[in-house]
Amino acid sequence: MIREIYFFLRHGPATMKRKREMGAVEFKKYLAKKMDADGFAELRFNLVGDLEGDILEIGAGTGATFTYYGKKANVTAIEPDDEYRRAALEEVPNAKAGIKVISGTGENLPFDDSSFDAVSASTVLCSVMSLSKTLEEFKRVLRPGGKIRLLEHVCSEHWFAGPAMDLFNPIWRQINQSGCNCNRRTVEEVKKAGFLIQSLGKYKIYSKAVPAAFPLRLIKGER
């Protein structure tokens, strides 16, 4: 935990300065590119590279995950922010998969029950207004046996770091100004929602561009 705090204090101010100088879209693209170069790209590929059929991606942002889908994926990506959605659309021609980008939120998916073979999200469930409602929606739109693929930063399971992250969360929300929470118990919530977790990868990335080295979890599960 000492290392994470030091890393945040050491590199955070430069990131904040960059955020002020760049527009939201350019900043988001910059962060995704830097994170990918520092190890996130491999995790994105692990997250979605083998998915086939009808896939729903939630909170696509600027489309940073699009190029990691294989050509047998038929992706519907939803993103609530207009500017990010426009940037995501520009990424579509670079992808091997067929991708359409539409407006929407995880809590209220504009799709019929049992419409998708898989649902994916990367660093989104930290920001949704209601995690339980979003997971309920994932379950509704997935076909029986459908896959859930999540790459999310979560609250530490450590006896001291976990409660410390709860205390830090209001400050973190002030810093990020984008509704991101650092203390979501996402793995527990996924189980509580009734998904069967098949594998759980644990990672941590120290990236100077995104100096919040929160615990990362790659969750692969099934409805």
Where does this chain bind ligand SAM (CB under 6 A)?
A: 32, 58-61, 64-65, 79-81, 84, 105-107, 122-124, 127-129
CA gap 72, 96 in Å, rounded: 8
**CA geometry: angle at 78 spanning 98 and 168, to 5°?**
130
Q: How far is the CB of 159 from ligand SAM (least distance, A)?
A: 28
Residue 86: closest CA among 72, 101, 71, 97: 101
Residue with Cβ nearer ligand SAM (158 or 208): 208
The residue among 87 and 165 lying less far from ligand SAM, judged by its C-beta, is 87
Of 123 and 207, nearer to ligand SAM (C-beta) is 123
- Classify residue 177 as exposed, middle or buried by CB count within 10 Å of its CB (0-12, 13-18, 19+): exposed
41 versus 197: smaller Cβ distance to ligand SAM: 41
Residue number with the smallest Cβ distance to ligand SAM:
61
How far is residue 168's CA from residue 217's CA, in Å, rounded to a whole number?
20
